[in-house]
Amino acid sequence: MVLKTMSSNEVKQRWGSVMSTVKVPEDAVDVESHGKPQPAVISFKRFQKLRELEKVEHREGVLRRLREIEARYDGRSDDLTEEQIEELAVRAGREINRAVAERRRKRTTDVSGS
């Protein structure tokens, strides 16, 4: 695995070299500006792997939280009707959808505002 460190000016001047370097999925170019790490340039294949790992990590976190909730509330809904349980599930789903939409909106705003 090759990790090159280049200044942002070098990257601008040698973009072709940067692209050649990152064609190898294991290689990357770390871009610095004024001696501080900035973005890294990686292959699209490596980017896809990172995104997949993030998705798996997110799913595992959600499942872990659901199991924690299930453990806390186990047996608490025995006195609820099916309709009440369904209504609670629908309400929870709506809250989750709102939270996801808000997070996406914030992420889009953060990216466009940067």
Token pair for residue 74? Answer: 């186990």
Residue 23 structural domain: 3-42
pLDDT of 4 = 87
Give residues with Cβ within 8 angstroms of 27, minimum separation 6: 1, 2, 3, 4, 21, 43
Total domains in the chain come to 3
Residue listed under structure tokens 């500006």: 33
Q: Are residues 15 and 37 in the same domain?
A: yes
More confident residue, 15 or 72: 15
Encode pLDDT of 43-65 as tens digits.
999 999 999 999 999 989 888 88
**CATH number, domain with residue 22:** 3.40.1620
Residue listed under structure tokens 């199991």: 67
Q: Are residues 86 and 108 in the same domain?
A: yes
pTM: 0.57
